[in-house]
Chains A and B, each alone.
Chain A
Amino acid sequence: MRNETTVLDDGTPLFLQIGAQLADDIADGTLAEGDRVPSSNEFAAFYRINPATAAKGINVLIDDGLLEKRRGIGMFVASGARERLLAERRQRFAQQYIEPMLAEAKRLDMDVELLVSLLHDTSKRNGDGDR
């Protein structure tokens, strides 16, 4: 889980990082559908970044239909935004997480069966620990 003072990294374009953080908040429910999203100026002040950069990051989500502008009031999480985000991320899951994991496993001579059992064990352990 992400904490509120996440530090922005140096190399990735800032507006993409702002967009990604907003998307994370929508995906994990921190920002629920219908919630008001901070303005670009609030983002700029909080992260100490240029307001144009913050606005550009927010616009990425507006273009994707995840946020909607209500004239004179502000920016809000669109209805269905979370579902759409989750669907997109599930589609990318294999490429983003499983492929690198398989690549590393191969380097370590771990076969798929071992991975599957490791997955079960880890999930069980975390589940026991948290709840």
Chain B
Amino acid sequence: MARVLNIKQFVIFIILFIICFLFTVSDSLPQVQNQKCMICHGKPDISKKREDGSVKMLFVNDSMLLHSAHSKITCYDCHNDIVEITALGHKKNINKVQCTRCHYDNNPVGAPETEKYREFQESVHQQELNNGNPKAPVCQTCHGSHDILHAKTLSSLELKKKITQTCGQCHLDIYTTYKSSVHGKAIFDKNITDVPVCTDCHGEHTIKKTDDPESSVFKTTVYSTCGSCHASEKIVEKYGIKADKFKTYESSYHGIAVQFGEKTAANCASCHGIHDIRPQNDPASLIHPDNIVKTCGKCHPDANANYAKGRIHINPHSEESGSIYYISSTFKWLTIITLTLLAIHVILDLVRKLKHKRAK
């Protein structure tokens, strides 16, 4: 035989080859691979009944998946315990997706490498998971699952608002309090992005229990967390808040005590509130003139009207402090003048005594 294949066989071979090639290429596109799953999970009413009677929706929005950060990976990449799919579906009791399957250092699939899941190990949420709290959040609780997005795809305003809502899923009462606070109103009503949302004070993956000394809102360190904005003229003076409030607190008795680790001394939140911080002119504010004595009374039970009669956060170097400024300047000059006269006296006395000694 001179020819191995005749023309007919050759054409069939080429056609088969092209078909196979197309299948291979197209099969590697996630949308095509996911097609099989979407036969069932693309139906909006697909759901399952849990053992406790609750219903879990199993619908996956294909287009949401396509726009998510994971648009380039397939269902199997995360749901790797599903190996066999029959006409009846797949095995029950699918495991929860473990994000750390890809998200670890030097992973071969090119998933972003970050410290964050290691930070999370130390967090209060991981602690709760370890304690078996069924409500404790995992990655998906905050980041979403099929709708997961890169943080950078959102504007900072959208992102900040979304963060409060994300935390609010579980911490609903705090979310409502926060929303009516000066910070909450600024972001929700005035679209000001300088204000802190949950993560700005509490941290993200590092979040600790408030009574953990390492927490960013621990009694003796929370002042520096507030100070990260309130000590910055650039940030707060735009909104008519003096940046010296931070320094004046630091040099006050409360501030000094806190810096020496005194947990009972007042920090920012003791007087201003935590999630319920309101501007001074708000009658519900803890530092409204009508409420301030009560606020002092939280720690100083004998506080009466005299206790709060006067300025707080006094800066002796600012003319606005009135008598304090003038007394402090007077003393400064008194000290300078006295010491100058004294220095003159000592020098004259010294010169005279040395001369006298030499004459002897």
Is this pair of chains taken from one and the same complex? no
